[in-house]
Structure 1
């Protein structure tokens, strides 16, 4: 009996020692030029990888691994056939890392510079994207912040993560509750709540999933965060418009989702299979 207690004590002690050693090792993990790309997803930033990143099968680590690589102190240069990527770490502490990305096309007068900030998540022991600011060209200068976690769906174009309400910018979904009124649509002669229908579609798609949001620096008139949110690399705004449960809000999107809307309209998906009015028209009347 006594012998068994000793064995249990020793086993427990070994497990605890291993846990704390592992914990400290992960927690003290430092970012270097050699592991920088391992600690953030460049596809989530404003990089020129655009079209490649839309494919969930695209492995950006393999892509960079196959380039010509030069490392010099806190700088790293990846050279491809037509592109150059330069990374320079400008701040490196145990809780925050800043670096500049220079994204350069060799055969065109195209150059962008962005400052990325990563912050260490003490609870999950990982580095998270915190912000992404375009430095050059000046005409495109803007700053984004990042937020991720389990999402609560408010309606077809609004979610909440960690008590932060996020309105999907550039799209507009039917209203489920606007000044006490819900927006309805007609299927033949049957009236349905298309606001609730849109909400349920989004809710069923992202329930229990981690959502990643790219938040604009400026908030809307209701003090809500504006941004585009993703499930893995799939834009939820694109998902809603392409399936007909939200609309391209051209006033703010500049037509970003117009082709997705054309697809939904052509195939009579979602609202396009019903008689409806656009959400902005509904609000104007009410």
Structure 2
């Protein structure tokens, strides 16, 4: 028994605690990714390019570029293009500062970005032109209660819209007018 300290339930629990402590230590010692900044080329309401880097705003999901929504009277409006135009206006020639937090399955940098100290994701959700998928629940509640943007009428969640329209809808950067080679 002396040479086998990880035997039985106690040993299993001890081994799990040691592994968890090691994982926590590695996480704490891994340096955060360096912030990125630059001139933005807006793709849609929640993604853009900074130079060669593709950025996806963390914590929000905006309508896809070709997505259509309905207003209170049932009239269609181009909510995807409106969301893109809002992000263009928020950036307005300034250089967003983005703190990366990993990558998505398409290789885009997931980041929290700001312009002049104002969080772009929070502003998109406050305007009602993106839904919160993470940390912007208060902003979403405010937009919903004030019936701003998407909340003025009816809409499919961007995820549901993408599911119905296929993967191309999520990866199309809005350059569909260019010839394909």
What TM-score results when the alignment is normalised by the length of structure 2? 0.72
The residue correspondences of 1:124-143 to structure 2 (distance < 5 A) are: 138=25, 141=28, 143=32
Higher strand share: 1
Higher helix share: 2
1:232 CA displacement? 1.8
| CA pair 138-263 structure 1, distance change in 2 beyond 3 A | farther
Alignment partner for residue 156 of structure 2, among 277, 282, 286? 277
1:192 CA displacement? 1.4
**Structure 1: which 5+ residue stretches go unaligned?**
1-136, 177-181
Separation of aligned partners in 2, 1:186 and 1:147? 36
Higher relative contact order (CA 8 A, sep 6+): 2
Moved over 4 A (4+): none
SS of residue paired to 1:215: strand
Q: Are residues 1:170 and 2:49 paired? A: no
1:274 CA displacement? 2.0
Contact preservation (8 Å) 1:151, 1:207: no
SS of residue paired to 2:37: strand
Query: Match of 2:90?
Result: 205
Alignment partner for residue 222 of structure 1, among 96, 106, 129? 106
1:144 CA displacement? 2.4
SS of residue paired to 2:33: strand
- What root-mean-square deviation, in Å, do the aligned CA atoms of Structure 1 and Structure 2 show? 1.8
Contact preservation (8 Å) 2:74, 2:153: no
Aligned residues: 140
| CA pair 237-139 structure 1, distance change in 2 beyond 3 A | farther
Deviations along 1:7-33, one digit per CA (max 9) or x if unpaired, are: xxxxxxxxxxxxxxxxxxxxxxxxxxx
Q: Which has the larger radius of gyration?
A: 1
